[in-house]
Chains A and B, each alone.
Chain A
């Protein structure tokens, strides 16, 4: 994998990949020449607006991209003061905006695209970059796919600065470090890497940095791109970054010594390294009392097994090993199977297909029509398909159970992976019965044990076994027992809590 990336890099050449090393273009002293250059650089784009001004007795030209600029600010903070004063030092006249003198026209173009406006004056080689960018902000709302019962109800938004604000607000520490990367050869995207300087392992930081820096794509449109460019085993069905839109979840992981990657324009934080079990933890586990949290987590881990094995076991049972069914059950299952014209695998695939169709359609449809899907899917198809004798009742129960179990996973990526995994399981079950299931399970677990996420074994703390980390794996032990951080991201400092309940011991 690594070798491949190197080859790609050499093919495109390093110079081209980093556009910051473009040739400088000195601005001319003629106003018209400069304006023409900018216009040409933007390929005569229609939303580039210009406005002539008089300042210091000279002709000037204000250039801005209409869609990126805040009209009101431009009028109030730039045009009004200039027309009123007519002369003087620009920085004194315009106290409310960022002013940066510049001579390089390519930088001017970059600034323009970023939302700034440019002020050119006649007979001057210097021009000014004025920070008048518009910022349309979305409310900080709770992410819909990661809502919790109790606890914080804010989420990430599409703006990186706001997301960083959410994280910094929670970690009031000078040790929280943010580093920026500009990724993309054509359109640059700002990527922020957030970690605790005194916790995150230096090797991990180096690895993340290296992988992010080697990305040579033209653009990064979403966190998914970043994920695919940086993960260890890109062919694996399992996600190796934890995607979350919750600041509190991100902060919890950062405080365990992990690294969070945030992307401008995407309300997702990618957390690395993670283990399989991280996908089954939710903030809710820690908000509720530990007994409740443990119970819910145990159920969730059970759902992991149900979600990809139940249909396979059902198929294998009715196609190969019906003898294991208790006598009373065997006849009720048989009664429901009697009319079905398909072999169990086809029956299951048909039902799974219908379910996946309904799920996908449910996401795409506007919410008002969405209800119809529920009625069509649940009532009409679910009931009619049995009455028509195409699918048995028990199969519907099995598929419904599986569907519910797969949605129990707090992470959407993991949920999707598991839904995919049950298809090979089902095929193996339909061809070899329980033997087929055990073989596919073996392959899956061998794979899980083999893969790493940024140097951390994916199945830790089960393989390699580390019993002390089990406290927060299958169950959620009381927080005062979780003295040490989990071992898997190899944090610099292990202890996270020491004697919080000392008062209890002091009393006689």
Chain B
């Protein structure tokens, strides 16, 4: 009788116990909200983790704790952080900051661990920090907001206004491995007690090779055909004093209505030419001189704005060439449509030789009340 019971008990435990091994209680998890990586002068990785805690009780209050650790690899640094914090869980981190010192080295080797973890969130954002990532994270709070949330909101609003390209853990991986395509990440920096948008960081291969100003990065997202919800510019369109606001016009383009055409042509001598055309239907947000009911006035503004933006687009492309960042994916088009040309190219050398013909066509479609 006893043997029978023992037998049953063993069978039951075979069914019930193995699952418990995989249990991962939310209650005990220390959830990382944001993390940052820096490179120490001696080549080690400094990992800074922002852990979000909630005070128990009827009205839970969020709290942040920040921890740092050093290691020779990312995982190594995590292990030393684990010594301080038990049950560290990365499955809900929202943003990862990369110190410039580290971004300029081989980024891929720092990201390897994310792509190995099946629980890693695919929608987490990246940002490059001009300076040290740990300095920003150590602040814990920026203007009453917890640092993790603040950074997410900052990047999201940057994406919405087309200042930042929309990149996530999931979207940069193929670009990283694609020889015909590079990626651009948001660039932020600390300014006093605030964290501000600095523009965009251009990458070539796995390394950061240059930066764009905020205005330029808006143009970049337009040229790449992936703008956010809206794209806004303020340009001086009238001659006169720089200090007079009525000489400026502020326009905003609806991201969904922006049309971009990119055509990659290969000349007979193997030269690559890219026709880039962006149609920008814009709404006037602010223009003190008004008179926008006159067709002539509107036409003039259209022309002036198109000219200014086309020139600026040229500048952006110049900067990209200098950084050898093929953010528009010209190489990918070559691989797809002209593989024999691609085979002869050494892209990091030949990319700057590509001739771009950017053309931005601005058309004012809304001139009255804002919606």
A residues contacting B by CB (< 8 A) are: 317-320, 322-323, 325, 327, 330-340, 343-344, 387, 389, 427, 430-433, 436
Contact = CB atoms under 8 A, between A and B. Distances in A.
B290 interface: no
29 contacts: A317-B26, A318-B27, A319-B23, A319-B25, A319-B26, A322-B29, A322-B92, A323-B119, A327-B92, A330-B26, A330-B92, A331-B31, A332-B60, A333-B26, A334-B29, A335-B54, A335-B55, A335-B57, A336-B60, A337-B26, A338-B54, A343-B23, A343-B25, A387-B58, A431-B15, A431-B19, A432-B22, A433-B22, A436-B19
Contacts of A331: 31, 52, 54, 60, 62
Contacts of A432: 19, 22
Interface in B50-104: 52, 54-58, 60, 62, 89, 91-92, 94
Given A323-B91, A327-B94, A339-B56, A334 B27 contact: yes
A318 B25 contact: yes
Nearest to B120: A323
A348 to B, nearest CB: 13
Contact of A344 (B22, B25, B54, B91): B25
A433 B26 contact: no
B16 interface: yes
B24 interface: yes
Contacts of B52: 331
A335 B60 contact: yes
A318 B26 CA distance: 5
Nearest to B94: A327
Nearest to B15: A431
Contacts of A427: 16
A333 to B, nearest CB: 7
Nearest to A326: B92
A192 B228 CA distance: 74
B62 A337 contact: no
B25 A334 contact: no
Contacts of A319: 23-26
B20 interface: yes
A432 B91 CA distance: 19
A323 B56 CA distance: 20
B121 interface: yes
Interface in B1-59: 15-20, 22-27, 29, 31, 52, 54-58
Contacts of A343: 23, 25
A337 to B, nearest CB: 4
Q: Which of B27, B56, B121 has the largest number of chain A CB atoms within 10 A?
A: B27
Given A318-B25, A319-B24, A323-B92, A334 B31 contact: yes
Interface residues of B, number: 28
B116 to A, nearest CB: 15
Interface string B107-122: 0000000000001010
Contacts, number: 76
B65 to A, nearest CB: 14
A197 to B, nearest CB: 52
Contacts of A317: 26
Contact of B20 (A323, A337, A339, A431): A431
Nearest 3 A/B pairs, CB to CB: A335-B60, A335-B54, A431-B19
B27 A340 contact: yes
A9 B27 CA distance: 59
Given A327-B94, A427-B16, A322 B56 contact: no
Contact of A322 (B18, B24, B62, B94): B24
Given A320-B22, A332-B54, A431-B20, 4 more contacts: A330-B26, A331-B54, A333-B26, A427-B16
Contacts of A320: 22-24
Nearest to A323: B91
Nearest to B23: A319
A211 B113 CA distance: 67
Q: Which of A318, A323, A340, A430 has the largest number of chain B CB atoms within 10 A?
A: A323
B54 A334 contact: yes
Q: Which of A317, A338, A339, A433 has the largest number of chain B CB atoms within 10 A?
A: A338
Nearest to B21: A431
B14 to A, nearest CB: 11
A334 B62 contact: no
B16 A322 contact: no
A322 B119 CA distance: 10
B55 A431 contact: no
Nearest to A344: B25
B27 A337 contact: yes
Given A323-B91, A327-B92, A331-B60, A338 B27 contact: yes
A412 to B, nearest CB: 32
Contacts of B91: 322-323
A333 B56 CA distance: 10
B146 to A, nearest CB: 11
Contacts of B18: 431
Interface in B118-168: 119, 121
Contacts of B56: 335-336, 338-339, 389
Nearest to B61: A335
A325 B26 CA distance: 10
A325 B356 CA distance: 46
Nearest to A332: B60
A333 B19 CA distance: 23
A339 B28 CA distance: 10
Contacts of B23: 319-320, 343
Given A322-B91, A323-B92, A323-B119, A334 B55 contact: no
A361 B37 CA distance: 59
A331 B55 CA distance: 10
Contacts of B27: 318, 334, 337-338, 340, 344
B6 to A, nearest CB: 21
A432 B94 CA distance: 28
A337 B57 CA distance: 9
A427 B15 CA distance: 11
Nearest to A392: B27
A340 B19 CA distance: 21
A320 B22 CA distance: 7
Contacts of A430: 19
A344 to B, nearest CB: 7
A442 to B, nearest CB: 15
B296 to A, nearest CB: 52
B262 to A, nearest CB: 35
Contacts of A338: 27, 54-56, 60
A344 B28 CA distance: 12
Contacts of A318: 25-27
